[in-house]
Structure formats: structure tokens, C-alpha cells
């Protein structure tokens, strides 16, 4: 391999990496949009110039309580509480691993 080829190869590898990252980003964006978390609704408070997501602040500015017009807080989707689904998955995986360990121990 000559020294002149290296920058060209590096550029080729780099462009491949960038294209993969772009594909992953597009996939994540499509997935996010499908899950209903696409473009977040943002509002800017005219009093303190604070930009916030009304979804997480009950529809009002967290600093002064300004309610942006046209944002219905009752129509906003609730943030998902992942504690119990994740905890259940952890318990099921732990039980499965316990069974596998016991089976493997008794087979030897």
C-alpha cells in the first residue's frame, strides 16, 4: 500500500461511515415519528423568552405560568412511565436465567 492511497482510502471509509450514520439517523427519525414522538411541540414565552415543550409542563411556561394560545394541555399525550414494563422484563429475564443455571447445573 502506497502512502498516496491512504488519504483516498480514508476518505472512502469516512464517507461510508457518514452514509451509515445518515441511514441510522433516518431510521431513528422514522421510528420516532411512528411512535408519536416526532417533532415536539415547542412554545416560546413572550414574557421571559423561554422555549419549552408544553407536553412536559402541563401546557404552561415553567417560569411564569404563561399559557401559549392554541396549545391544549388535555390533548397532549402523557409521557410513558417505563418503570413497571422494564421491571417486569428484568424479573422475567432473571427467572429465565435462574432456570437455565439450574438446568445446566443438574446436567453436569
- If one asks whether residue 53 binds Zn ion (CB under 5 A), the answer comes out as no
What are the grid coordinates assigned to 68, written together?
401559549
Binder of Zn ion out of 24, 28, 64, 101 (CB under 5 A): 64
Residue closer to Zn ion (CB basis): 16 or 56? 56
Length of the chain, in residues: 108
* DSSP per-residue letters across 6-54: HHHHHHHHHHHHHHHHHHHHHHHHHHHHHTT-SSPP-EE-TTT--EE-G
Question: Which residue among 26, 63, 73, 100 contacts Zn ion (CB under 5 A)?
Answer: 63
* 58 makes contact with Zn ion (CB under 5 A): no
- Interface residues toward Zn ion, by CB under 5 A: 45, 47-48, 61, 63-64, 66
Amino acid at each position: 500500500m502506497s502512502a498516496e492511497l491512504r488519504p483516498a482510502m480514508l476518505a472512502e471509509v469516512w464517507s461510508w461511515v457518514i452514509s451509515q450514520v445518515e441511514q441510522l439517523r433516518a431510521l431513528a427519525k422514522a421510528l420516532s415519528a411512528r411512535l408519536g414522538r416526532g417533532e415536539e411541540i415547542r412554545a416560546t414565552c413572550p414574557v421571559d423568552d423561554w422555549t419549552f415543550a408544553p407536553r412536559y409542563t402541563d401546557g404552561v411556561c415553567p417560569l411564569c405560568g404563561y399559557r401559549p394560545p392554541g396549545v391544549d394541555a388535555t390533548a397532549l399525550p402523557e409521557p410513558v412511565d417505563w418503570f413497571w414494563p422494564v421491571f417486569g422484563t428484568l424479573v422475567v429475564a432473571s427467572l429465565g436465567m435462574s432456570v437455565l443455571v439450574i438446568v445446566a447445573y443438574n446436567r453436569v
